[in-house]
Amino acid sequence: MLGFPCNQFGAQEPGTEAEILEFATSKYDVTFPLFAKIEVNGDGACELFRWLKSQAGDGSDIPWNFSKFLVDREGNVVQRFGGLVTPEEIAPFVAELL
């Protein structure tokens, strides 16, 4: 699991990268890597998210926080999940790839 903070959704990530990391680890016990804050939609979208969206289907914008992309060992996007889908719901799909 990798995390990419983004402030494009209701300005929910206004802090610095250090502040975001502190919040995520203290409030949600996040142990996976958090990367630099990026944009995921629009002209400023980072290349990774442009690619993920294009590989996951229609390339549509990410509508809200916590969208997830499942990528296999070869780097293929297997599935895209919306923000309300929990890690527990994704676990069976991950298990299939192991």
- The string of pLDDT tens digits covering residues 42-66 is 999 999 999 999 999 888 999 998 9
Asked if 47 contacts 38 with a C-beta cutoff of 8 angstroms, the reply is: no
Q: What is the dihedral of CA 9, 73, 25, 47, to 10 degrees?
A: -40
| The pair of three-digit structure tokens given for residue 41, joined into one six-digit string | 């939609």
pTM of the model: 0.87
> CATH 3.40.30.10: does it fit domain 17-97?
yes
pLDDT bucket at 77, cuts 50 / 70 / 90: very high
**H helix or E strand, kind and range, residue 80:** strand 77-81
d(CA 91, CA 1): 12
